[in-house]
Amino acid sequence: MEYYVKSVVPLIESNYDNFTTVEKNIADFFIQNRKKMDFSARAVAELLFVSEASLSRFAKKCGYRGYREFVYQYEETFVEKKESITGNTRMVLNVYQELLNKTYSLVDEVQVARISRYLNRAARVFVCGMGSSGLAAREMKLRFMRIGVDIDSIQDSDLMRMQAVFQNETCLVFGISISGEKEEVLYLLREAHGRGAKTVLVTAKNNEAFDKFCDEVLLIPSLKHLNHGNVISPQFPILVMLDIIYSYYLEQDKYEKETLHDNTLRALQKDKPEKYI
């Protein structure tokens, strides 16, 4: 059964901070709405006390040619959800499913393939993040080093600043910041980019300013607008996207990389008592 549908909501969320006050009012409506209704420009403008021109500008900031194209996509994928969710298990699973749907809506396979080629060409790879993003950075390091990537993770702000000095055109730097506001992460990306390194920012916030020092801005879903988002690990959308990159990277010289993975597994198990294997 196919569960995934393209949705405009994650695009709205990733551009939320770029909206004016009026546009945020429009965004809130489309993010929070759960009812099928008349979504024509005239009806929505009257409902929200905004002009039809404001709806058009809002749609264009979301990446559409106009409101008509935007609302067509919104109606095409609109699924009315049951308001009554019983049980914590169902609630948590529904939120995870929603995050997977949002990841499907945001992922750009051409971009992911590009990033996997960067990984293949880089002599050194660095991935940095703070807090829960730092834990995801460490997980990325552990996974990719087992298939032959010369990769290191950085969670300390001082080390990020020091490491920036050593970046060059042979390096690839991943910065993970869901908010897109961790200055230590952005500093490393800016300095690395200035020294010729390839840079990738993994974030839930779309900001044109990132284009100045990031070769790729890899968008992930935000927990901000989810019901019960506070009970979901903020690492989850990061790890899903990193798994997608991993799968693409593994496809390049797959046999060699799977052999390296198996060899590292055997190295970990060597000389261990049977009960630990």
Residues 188-217 have pLDDT tens digits of 999 999 999 999 999 999 999 999 999 999
* Cα dist from 5 to 39, 73, 135, whole Å: 19, 11, 29
Burial group, residue 153, by CB count within 10 angstroms (0-12, 13-18, 19+): buried
User: Does pTM top 0.85 for this prediction?
Assistant: no
Asked if 52 contacts 39 with a C-beta cutoff of 8 angstroms, the reply is no
CA angle at 163 for the pair 159 and 167, rounded to the nearest 5°: 165
pLDDT in tens, 140-151: 999 999 888 999
Residues β-bridged to residue 29: none
pLDDT of residue 78: 61
pLDDT of residue 34: 81
Residue 97 confidence class, pLDDT cut points 50, 70, 90: confident
pLDDT in tens, 52-66: 999 999 999 998 999
pLDDT of 268 higher than 90: no
Three-class DSSP category at 100: helix
d(CA 22, CA 30) in angstroms, rounded, equals 13
CA angle at 220 for the pair 95 and 108, rounded to the nearest 5°: 120
